[in-house]
Structure 1
Amino acid sequence: MHVLAGVLIDGAGRILIAQRPAGKHLAGMWEFPGGKVEPGEAPMAALERELDEELGIAIDPLSFEDLIRVPWTYGERSMLLEAVVVRAWSGEPQALDAAAIDWRLPKDIDPGMLAPADRPILAALRLPEHYVITPADVSVAQATTLVRAALARGERLLQWRLPGASTEEARAGAAALLPEVRRFGAQLLLNRDIEGARALGVGVHLSAGQLREVTERPLAFDVPVGASCHDPDELVLASACGCDFATLSPVDATASHPDTPPLGWPRFAKWVENASLPVYALGGLGPTDVAMARMHAAQGVAGIRAFWTA
């Protein structure tokens, strides 16, 4: 089943969500309005029809912007949920086919109130185009200086990865940075350290090995959970345990893993289009590769060296 979801964004940056009415599947949960494509119907025509029927509005096709495609299964029912950003329409949205509608900023929406298939859409709205990872060969003090500089130039999603430091040193360094990270409205994720993330109230980035051990989301929805993936099976595991996003690597050749064959963009795009969560392209990439990554279904680009020397 092919389903279109409209992500209406108003001039204040708020998005519209609708509550599923009584008697329907997932009644009481919230979602992005839309509906299924009828046989022989063009997807965008289906979205126009559904938003007219559900909200009483006429949307402007010129304002469409692809956001994310989410393959999902509810029991025996499989669907492809395609989310499209809509920035212009005529008419005032009304709850014609929903229990209620509401306008909220993405940061103010609790993912737990959304239908499970709609949560990756919210994650894609919240996540930036860059995911910056600290270099492996720096000290805690050096990493602190780098993160402060990254925050100052606008980076808002950062992974605190210090394999040369002890767990206690890495946690202490992260704790010292937190006031600045929060002042900038940024998110810091600890590499692999779930217990440390819980203690500090920050996010965590899981290794591919941890994905095989974690059976459910390890942290609350108010902090991000990412995962390192290298093949389609690991992307499935990342989605199954409730990760907000994943990295998929290596897209290009890297100096740190010279013997690992790169995926290349065509294979990367094929795997990501079948993933059920936002995915960052990682491996031999930097800030200048964002446009290419977006063309190949990525949320954006993750990187190490190229971001610190940019």
Structure 2
Amino acid sequence: MVKRRVHVAAAAIISANGREVLIARRPSNVDHGGLWEFPGGKLAPYETGLGGLKRELHEELGVEIRRAQPLIRIYHEYSDKHILLDVWQVHDFSGEPFGREGQAVRWVPMADLVKYPFPAANLPILRAVMLPTEYLITPDEVDDAVFLERAERALDEDGIRLVQFRDKSLDASAYLARAARLLELCRRFDARLILNGDPELLEHLDADGIHLTSERLMSLERRPIAEGKWLAASTHDRQQLAQAARLGCDFVTLSPLRTTPTHPDTAPMGWHDFQQLVEHAAMPVFALGGMTRFDASHARAVGAQGIASIRDFWK
């Protein structure tokens, strides 16, 4: 049987305070009736993603989009159809949203999204909505005081809310000791801390998740940590992205986008190849490799969740 292809545009509409997102309940007489979703609908053959989304939000919610940017594109296969979800993050709109077709709509704190039942195709959108657009990867640093001072500056002055603690120069006990102090800092600024190392680290420290190296990623057969923790991984090609999807990674980095001082002999993939890989990734992807804040908008435009960096976030 040839499966039909359906192109759907959806919106993650963010509240003015940046802490809540609008969701809607599907009518009981349609597929996945009673589940919650991000508002939107099917596109006509002649419509672009944003154009169709503007029409759908006006028809469904009575709002007009003023400013939006790509968030994530998701390909999902059901028993009878292929779905392309073209998801946009709406930052500015006019009108007060309400269910013009009788559907329930609700503003939900982002942290509470996991409490609502969504169709399977919507799950990567939840991750993308809950993640920030900047991912700090810490460098090797000998001095504890200097490390914590710079970490606090990144959290306080630069607004970093997602940190990967990566330091290959420390032994296991020193790593955990510094990680514990960094976790205290992250909690103070409502930021998430991801540990780079063995998943068993979470048995010793209640951080927010684990970031796998590409080597460890490819060696695993199943998700190594609980669903309640964030699982991230380093990826460099299509095979590693597919393995990350099989393990149920919540997000990944994809590199190197540009040549970097730490890997001068590694050929960069460039924006074109990066976009081709991200297009079919089944999770949010952070661009890594020579990235600065000046690249953030370009990265989002080609489908990335945002940028990951050491040098540009660690001053």
Compute the TM-score of the two structures, normalised by the length of structure 2: 0.85
Matched, 1:166 2:146: no
Q: Secondary structure at the match of 1:66?
A: strand
1:195 maps to 200
Partner amino acid, structure 2, of 1:273: E
Distance 2:97 2:141 in 1: 55
Segments of 5+ residues of structure 1 without an aligned counterpart are: none
Give 1:298 deviation, angstroms: 2.0
Give 1:4 deviation, angstroms: 0.8
Q: Secondary structure at the match of 1:68?
A: strand
1:254 maps to 260
The 1:289–1:18 alpha-carbon spacing in structure 2 relative to 1, beyond 3 Å, is: same
* Per-residue CA distance 1:86-120 (angstroms, 9 max, x = gap): 3324354127364x432112123217733332222
* Per-residue CA distance 1:205-242 (angstroms, 9 max, x = gap): 11223333142372333x43221010122222223322
Distance 2:138 2:270 in 1: 24
1:227 to 217, 221, 233: 233
Matched, 1:69 2:73: yes
The 1:102–1:90 alpha-carbon spacing in structure 2 relative to 1, beyond 3 Å, is: same
Partner amino acid, structure 2, of 1:210: R
* Per-residue CA distance 1:248-299 (angstroms, 9 max, x = gap): 1111111222221111122112211222222111112233332332333222
Alignment of 1:150-299 (within 5 A): 150-153=154-157, 154-202=159-207, 203-212=209-218, 213-216=220-223, 218-221=225-228, 223-299=229-305
Give 1:79 deviation, angstroms: 1.6
Matched, 1:124 2:146: no
Give 1:196 deviation, angstroms: 1.6
Q: Secondary structure at the match of 1:262?
A: coil
Distance 1:64 1:134 in 2: 31
Alignment of 1:29-178 (within 5 A): 29-52=35-58, 55=60, 57-75=61-79, 77-86=81-90, 87-90=92-95, 92-94=97-99, 96=101, 98=103, 100-110=104-114, 113-136=117-140, 138=142, 142-153=146-157, 154-178=159-183
Identity of aligned residues (%): 38
The 1:15–1:169 alpha-carbon spacing in structure 2 relative to 1, beyond 3 Å, is: same
Partner amino acid, structure 1, of 2:72: I
The 1:287–1:88 alpha-carbon spacing in structure 2 relative to 1, beyond 3 Å, is: closer
Distance 1:197 1:238 in 2: 19
> How many corresponding residue pairs?
305
Give 1:76 deviation, angstroms: 5.6
2:26 to 15, 20, 28: 20
Q: Secondary structure at the match of 1:131?
A: strand
What is the Cα-based RMSD across aligned positions, in Å?
2.6
Distance 1:147 1:163 in 2: 17
The 1:245–1:37 alpha-carbon spacing in structure 2 relative to 1, beyond 3 Å, is: same
Compute the TM-score of the two structures, normalised by the length of structure 1: 0.86
Distance 1:123 1:143 in 2: 29
Distance 2:115 2:243 in 1: 19
The 1:33–1:171 alpha-carbon spacing in structure 2 relative to 1, beyond 3 Å, is: same
Give 1:60 deviation, angstroms: 1.6
Partner amino acid, structure 1, of 2:136: V
Segments of 5+ residues of structure 2 without an aligned counterpart are: 1-5
Contact 1:211 1:237 in 2 (8 A): yes
